[in-house]
Structure 1
């Protein structure tokens, strides 16, 4: 699973540190303490704990706390929650699909006008409010064909919609 680039990107996004992947690799071996992870990865204990807490906040790591009867110190044993990763990736994929659909609907349902000097692009209503003049430079706004933008959004939407079923398949093969 950790070799999956989508999983690695998610871990980097959550942890925002390069050391995240080796920590997750240790977690995938089974229940392990933060001290053992630090020892195996040669990372500082504070760095390991910081990464573990970020993974915990994201829901992809859990821990059990136990008290040493002799020292009265707490030991935290961490575990990787692999099923949560698939859930998070599917959810993010769905959010992207929804955003692309909204953008596509906006592009398809509007007529656009743009400044010749490259300032901004305006909907018909916005352009009409400004008498078809750019508010920045007062240059006349020209009709802008957005068919290429629409085609690009459709391609991206198709890509994400088709990847939805592939994500689950790819996850099963990496588990």
Structure 2
């Protein structure tokens, strides 16, 4: 699995990032980007349209009066990317804080065979028995709470670092 992740990271570093950098630096046509980056034109076009689908790139189409060919001038939408990253981080933080609240304000019971995990009220409704017939056991969720708190700190740190970087 790590091999696949590394392969994806390498592909991103070798294709998407150079294309975005070209757009940021003012190169605006797919042919110029392909020439500047050394990436095949059809790959550049696919990535540009993917960036367009993500709303972080936009284009204007113009027709050459002599050749009657269309030219697409691309623009990187930095503000939209910043907005999307911030929105995603805030959404993640909201979800993590809700999970933390649930973990801190409930007692949990689990099946010894891992079939279910439920709150005290849910366990009480089932008379502290799992669907498999085993008695539910109290679960110390302090590790889960610490894991969520750690994820919150990491997400907040990432958001702060990102904010500092884009404001420079």
Q: TM-score range by the shorter chain?
A: 0.7 to 0.9
3-state SS, counterpart of residue 165 of structure 1: helix
Offset at residue 23 of structure 1 (A): 1.4
Offset at residue 85 of structure 1 (A): 2.2
Offset at residue 16 of structure 1 (A): 7.4
* Distance in 1 separating the partners of 2:47 and 2:136: 51
Change (3 A) 1:165 1:52: same
Give the structure 2 partner of residue 57 of structure 1.
Answer: 53
3-state SS, counterpart of residue 114 of structure 2: coil
Change (3 A) 1:102 1:46: same
**More divergent stretch after superposition (27-36 vs 160-169):** 160-169
Offset at residue 118 of structure 1 (A): 2.5
Give the structure 2 partner of residue 44 of structure 1.
Answer: 40
* Distance in 1 separating the partners of 2:75 and 2:89: 25
Deviations 1:64-120 (A, max 9, x none): 211100111110011222222222211111111100111111112221101112232
- Count of equivalent residues: 160
Give the structure 2 partner of residue 107 of structure 1.
Answer: 103
Structure 1 spans left out of the alignment, 5+ residues:
1-11
Structure 2 spans left out of the alignment, 5+ residues:
1-7
Give the structure 1 partner of residue 154 of structure 2.
Answer: 159
3-state SS, counterpart of residue 64 of structure 1: strand
3-state SS, counterpart of residue 59 of structure 2: strand
Give the structure 2 partner of residue 35 of structure 1.
Answer: 31
* Distance in 2 separating the partners of 1:64 and 1:156: 41
CA contact (8 A) 1:30 1:80 kept: no
Give the structure 2 partner of residue 128 of structure 1.
Answer: 124
* Distance in 2 separating the partners of 1:80 and 1:39: 18
Deviations 1:94-148 (A, max 9, x none): 111100111111112221101112232112232223221221x321110111122
Give the structure 1 partner of residue 19 of structure 2.
Answer: 23
